[in-house]
Amino acid sequence: MNREKILAIIEKNSRIDLKDLAMMLDMTEVEVANEIAAMEKEQVICGYHTLINWDKTSEEKVTALIEVKITPQRGFGFDKIAERIYNYREVTAVYLMSGGYDFTVIIEGKTMKEVALFVAEKLGPMETVISTATHFVLKKYKDHGTKLTEQKKDERMVVTL
């Protein structure tokens, strides 16, 4: 199906030229544009993002993954709690998980202290939260399928006998 092909291509490069995409899929530009517009309307495509390696800028950012164990609210389940969490500006992602914790919450802050305060003042006090475990990202090697670090070249001299 063309939808899946379009999605696979634009997931890797959302800036691909419509003309190039149409040529790759053996479709017209109008057909591709209409299909993309339909998927945006249906919220199959939810947004377009730029991946930035913040370590190469002067901006200070700290990323943390927080495992959260909760007690679901009767009649609401996990969805209402997830909504409450993802509405905080610091939160970049919320995932319902299997295993020992219910949610993985990814947040960004300027400092570790800012992240700690978020957990202590906003996330931890929620009446449904039983426990949290915070993990700080020390270095990103690959994000959203893109390598963020350059492979070092082997600069040793080749010696033959």
CB 66 within 8 A of CB 132: yes
Give CA–CA dist 161/140, Å, rounded: 41
Largest Cα separation within the chain, whole Å, is 76
Average pLDDT over residues 64-77: 88
pLDDT by residue (tens digit) across 147-160? 887 767 777 777 77
CB 25 within 8 A of CB 6: yes
Tens-place pLDDT, residues 36-49: 999 999 999 988 88
Q: Looking at 3-7, 71-75, 104-108, 138-142, which range is the least confident one?
A: 71-75
Is the full-model pTM beyond 0.85? no
The rounded distance, in Å, linking the Cα atoms of 17 and 10 is 10
